[in-house]
Amino acid sequence: MSGIFITLEGGDGAGKSTQAELLGAWLEARGHEVVRTREPGGTRLGVEIRRLLLHGGEEVGEVDPRAEALLYAADRAQHVARVVRPALERGAVVVQDRYIDSSLAYQGAGRVLDVVDVRRISEWATEGLRPALTVLLDLDPADAAARLESRGGTDRLESEADDFHRAVRAGFLGLAEADPHRFLVLDAAQPPEDLNAAVIARVAPLLTAL
């Protein structure tokens, strides 16, 4: 595959969508095909999985943590097969909001499932596809909660207890510490333009391979 796979990770409210938009615009201005996408919800099947997982409410009732992990993996398998891998094969830059690291942090650390098991099902689902770069936007959960409150309305995961979000943050930071060459960790409390500059500085050298 000749394209570049870039993922953005972090807790809810960290600003991933803003940074994905800014990075995508910078790449397109330099003539690159950019595929901006997200998990869950990057395919027609994924849209339905996202609705059930995040907004299903009484329709689905309480979701067992293992069922949750498997549904995210199912979304991921479809998404990689139908969107991500084809884009990379034609030389595009894929800028994606969430990937396997989110499952490891949310279902592994947050739901206290075995991280090895969570990683195994996602790597099987994606046939081992790994990002060239993962940008982790790190934000204190209290600050994230304030951002979400000002935005109005929360989904099922966003409304979890503080302990859950602290565990998720620790999970993300642990993943970054274990794989420093892939991760770029940024303080998401910084102004968006400063974060964008730091992301571009890390992405620019990757473009020489295109």
Q: Is 46 annotated as a binding residue?
A: no
Q: Is 16 annotated as a binding residue?
A: yes
In angstroms, the CA 136 to CA 15 distance is 10
In angstroms, the CA 210 to CA 208 distance is 5
Q: Is 91 annotated as a binding residue?
A: no
CA angle at residue 170 from 165 to 174, to 5 degrees? Answer: 150
Q: Is 73 annotated as a binding residue?
A: no
In angstroms, the CA 142 to CA 33 distance is 37
Determine if residue 186 is left, alpha or beta; phi over 0 gives left, psi from -120 to 50 gives alpha, anything else beta. Answer: beta
Q: Is 31 annotated as a binding residue?
A: no
Cα torsion 42, 201, 168, 72 to 10°: value is 20
Residue tagged 């770029």 (tokens)? 184
145: helix, coil or strand?
A: helix
In angstroms, the CA 31 to CA 33 distance is 7
Q: Is 2 annotated as a binding residue?
A: no
User: From the annotation, which residues make up the binding site for ATP?
Assistant: 10-17
Binding site, residues?
Answer: 10-17
